[in-house]
Chain A
Amino acid sequence: MKKILVIMLLFFLTGNIIAQDEETEKVIDSLAKEAVAKYGYKPSGTQFMIRGYGHTGFSYTDTNGETESSFDGGTFAPIFLFKHNDRFMFESELEFTLSGGELEIGFEYADVMYVINDYMTVRAGKFLLPFGTFMERLHPSWINRFTSKPLGFGHDGIAPSSDVGVELRGAFYLGNTKWNYSGYVTNGPTLKDGSEEPEEAGMLAFENLIDNNTSKAFGGRIGFLPLSDSSVEIGVSAYGTGGTGDKGSEYEDVGAFLYAFDLSYVKQISAISGLIDLKAQYNNSKVDDAVYFDEHEDEFYTFDNQSDSFYLQLSYRPTMAGNDFLKNLEFVGRYSELNTPEESEWESEASQYSFGINYWLSWRSVLKLSYETSDIEGGHDGPGLTNIDSFSIHWAIGF
């Protein structure tokens, strides 16, 4: 009888413990579900994120009557962000492009950023230069309204895109006007002296991971937003160095000074039921006079090494239209020009008109249909006029 009683007691106690465990588990589950519903998963102290953009498309080009067409293999540009804490971050962007049947890999930027206080952040590494606004803010394919860059930017352009060094930047209000600023010290540009590519003697090459001399470049930009709704921004940028040539060469002390003005106006206007977006930038580059060797003529020559470029872009999107299809349409036009030094081997005068209709599939994905016509006098193709007409359709997405 005692045995039976002991067994029954054990069953009772065990059942009670199991019941308590189940009850406890139910309470824990319930609390966990509430916590997840309210806060999601518990975030880590540091955060790593991959963002970026990509695009692909088709283009048809007519160059002085010679036509070609091709599907573009696409571009994939991942951006790596590592947030160490609320002040400290690392950013980097690579760009993978299929060009001429080969994979090209671009190292766009990689820098560390530290927020010193409300008004000042320091960046160090390879960063996009705030020389104007196009290369720093507007060049990604899901932001750029066209499939191409304006003349003066990119390959053989006169505006620098990135450099290696240290930068201080920030923004602040003075009354109801807003200002932003940037000042930096970098490796600076390298002068092409013509020893490797005679036809490019006197050009500046940017993005020098290792400095070719001891002269550093100093630069900066000041942006002014005079209106309280931040719809207008006017900027002035400068970038210069006392030496661009290789150390020990006769070009070591050939200096360069570049400046730019930029303008932005973005405003939704009820009277036209849509959003107006105006962007413009003027770039000017002056390199000190130097003597170069002309292999074709077997003689030395010099020239006034001054270039400039300009673009103006206007887009309109009927964001307030009643029809969803119309709301997602965007009409855009752009004019750009590039003038390189007279009497240089790369002397040219180029102008370009671009027209486009874009359809926004979402806030970060766009189909771009564009037509572009360019007239180039001189340049790499030698003297004479080159006319290039191109039609393209691209799909760009940011992620």
Chain B
Amino acid sequence: MKTLKIFTITGLILGLVVFISSCSSAENSTYSKVDNNNIAYTKSGAQLWGENCVRCHSIPSPSAYNDTDWDTIGLHMKIRANLTSIESDKIFDFLKSAN
């Protein structure tokens, strides 16, 4: 059980670090508010769509759903696929613009 405690403590510390580091941007996500130093900021929605969706399943067709549906799917996939806010914003903005 010693290993379990080490994993638990490590996880709690990591969670605390993430929580503290995220407090400065606890508002709704928009491109201008998120960290613009990472690579996702320089990529287009189409590129992020091609890179991320295919990691689990075939790339969805933009025309498969309307804007309202993409909003719902966007929130679901952001959580399920561990997308960052900028990634999900760009991907689903692209899908809604191309459907």
Contacts and interface: CB of A to CB of B under 8 A. Distances in A.
Instruction: Indicate the size class of the contact surface on chain B.
Output: 35 or more
B8 A118 contact: no
Interface of A: 40, 43, 47, 49, 51, 81, 83, 86, 89, 91, 113, 115-121, 123, 136-138, 142-143, 168-173, 175-176, 178, 180-181, 183, 218, 220, 222-223, 228-231, 233, 238, 240-242, 255, 257, 264, 266, 275, 360, 362-364, 398
Contacts of B52: 230
Contacts of B75: 83, 86, 89, 115
A116 B7 contact: no
A381 to B, nearest CB: 34
B1 A242 contact: yes
List of 4 A-B pairs having minimum Cβ-Cβ separation, nearest first: A173-B38, A180-B82, A240-B4, A119-B22
B81 interface: yes
A49 B72 contact: yes
A399 B67 CA distance: 16
Contacts of A123: 79
A166 B18 CA distance: 17
Chief secondary structure at chain B's binding surface: helix
Given A173-B39, A264-B55, A363 B3 contact: no
Nearest to B47: A229
Given A89-B76, A230-B55, 19 more contacts: A43-B67, A49-B72, A51-B73, A81-B73, A89-B75, A115-B78, A118-B29, A118-B34, A168-B15, A169-B82, A170-B82, A172-B21, A173-B84, A176-B39, A178-B84, A180-B82, A181-B15, A218-B7, A257-B3
A363 to B, nearest CB: 4
A324 B79 CA distance: 34
A214 B73 CA distance: 37
B18 A120 contact: yes
B72 A115 contact: no
